[in-house]
Amino acid sequence: MDKKRSLTRYVVIFVLAQIAWFSLLGLWIYRFISSRMILKQVDESLSSWVMSEAANIFTLVFGCVLFLAISIGMSLIFRNFTVQYKITNLYDNFIANITHELKTPLASIQLNLETIKNRNLEHSQMEKFITLMLRDAGRLNRLINTILEVAGLEQKKAVYQCGIFTAGRTMRELIQESRKQFNLSENALNISGRAECECVIDKNSFRILIDNLMDNAVKYSRGPVHIKVNLQCTPKKFIMEFSDKGIGIPSKSLKKIFSKFYRLQRPHAPNVKGTGLGLHWVREIVRYHGGRIKALKSEKGAAFRIELPVYRVSRKRRLKKLLKTSQKLNAGIK
């Protein structure tokens, strides 16, 4: 609430400053026109006491340009301020969400350890608690890896082991693996289309990409999960369309959802905690492979379109660089 009042105060100050500048400019123009009308009515003997008409016009033009420059400068400053204000808000939300995401599994692990320490548990019960702790530890590990991977991608330090794969077959395998990981039935997933084109792909990074899309579909579905994936190839592109039947994405947020820390704020949305990094990470992975991703308008649920360049047809230099980097990495590992 305090932040909203602070922003409102700055907006009011900016508007008042603009009114003041333009009022002063209007007064200057009025003064100039009045002076010219007066000068026309007086004797030429006063010409040595006043500026020439050309000088007056130059002064007016210079003043208008100066005021315009100041006005534009203030607008740019205000725009930068609003951008920084939004980034600060997103960062604050990220800190709050990441704190919750870290504390929840840590609290669970601590509780399980205290239970094991203070009680004489049977072997079956002990295994159950250990399984729970391993699950929470894995959740923490994935969260930390997400933050590190996003930072690495943005700083161009992330290196993937890319290879040439048949796009359709590879994506089907990864999607089925993700379905089993999220314990979804076969009826919850519908994969259509054939894509026999070859693409340069790092399977581990696309496994992460599909897991993120699948995770969002599960978290933002009120009822049973229904996911549809369509695969196809054009002469130059491999296209994968991924859609679900969840709460969907508002039209005004279609371009924002890939921003770092951005999370949907909807009154009737499920109460889902997160970092706001999932879709941002997805976009960076697609970009790393020389492709692009777009959130599509959908009557119900969320829909995404992912495009990758087909090997030997488009973006040859980019794809060759990915393969060369992967070969060097593999040679270093060996």
pLDDT of residue 228 exceeding 80, the answer is yes
pLDDT of residue 101 exceeding 60, the answer is yes
Instruction: Compute the average pLDDT of residues 199-225.
Output: 86
Which pLDDT does position 309 carry in this prediction? 92
Instruction: Compute the average pLDDT of residues 174-188.
Output: 88
Instruction: Compute the average pLDDT of residues 32-59.
Output: 57
* Range from 87-91, 189-193, 197-201 carrying the lowest mean pLDDT: 87-91
The mean of the pLDDT values for the chain is 76
Instruction: Compute the average pLDDT of residues 119-128.
Output: 82
pTM, rounded to two decimals: 0.61
Residue with the bigger pLDDT between 195 and 69: it is 195
* Range from 42-56, 100-114, 207-221 carrying the lowest mean pLDDT: 42-56
pLDDT class of 306 with cuts at 50, 70, 90: very high
Determine the Cα–Cα distance for residues 81 and 71; give it in Å rounded to an integer. Answer: 15
pLDDT of residue 288 exceeding 70, the answer is yes
Instruction: Compute the average pLDDT of residues 137-160.
Output: 66
Determine the Cα–Cα distance for residues 269 and 264; give it in Å rounded to an integer. Answer: 9
Cβ atoms of 64 and 25 closer than 8 Å:
yes
pLDDT class of 48 with cuts at 50, 70, 90: very low
DSSP string, 139-169: HHHHHHHHHHHHHHHHTT------EEEEHHH
Residue with the bigger pLDDT between 30 and 308: it is 308
Where do the structural domains in the chain lie, given as residue ranges? 2-38+53-91, 106-154, 163-319
pLDDT class of 240 with cuts at 50, 70, 90: very high
Q: Which residues pair with 199 in a beta bridge?
A: 165
Which pLDDT does position 184 carry in this prediction? 87
pLDDT class of 8 with cuts at 50, 70, 90: low
pLDDT of residue 280 exceeding 80, the answer is yes
Instruction: Compute the average pLDDT of residues 224-241.
Output: 92
* Range from 40-49, 124-133, 139-148, 189-198 carrying the lowest mean pLDDT: 40-49
Residue with the bigger pLDDT between 195 and 147: it is 195
Which pLDDT does position 60 carry in this prediction? 62
Helix (H) or strand (E) holding 292: strand 292-296
| Of the ranges 25-34, 98-107, 208-217, 308-317, the best mean pLDDT one | 208-217
Helices (H), the chain: 2-41, 53-118, 123-154, 167-181, 203-219, 278-288, 316-333
Which pLDDT does position 62 carry in this prediction? 67
Which pLDDT does position 191 carry in this prediction? 92
> At a CB cut-off of 8 Å and minimum separation 6, what does 159 contact?
325, 326, 329
Determine the Cα–Cα distance for residues 288 and 303; give it in Å rounded to an integer. Answer: 21
> At a CB cut-off of 8 Å and minimum separation 6, what does 255 contact?
295
CATH number assigned to the domain covering 163-319: 3.30.565.10
Instruction: Compute the average pLDDT of residues 301-305.
Output: 90
| Of the ranges 4-8, 82-86, 308-312, the best mean pLDDT one | 308-312
- Report residue 120: phi and psi, to 5°: -90, 95
Residue with the bigger pLDDT between 154 and 277: it is 277
Instruction: Compute the average pLDDT of residues 197-220.
Output: 88
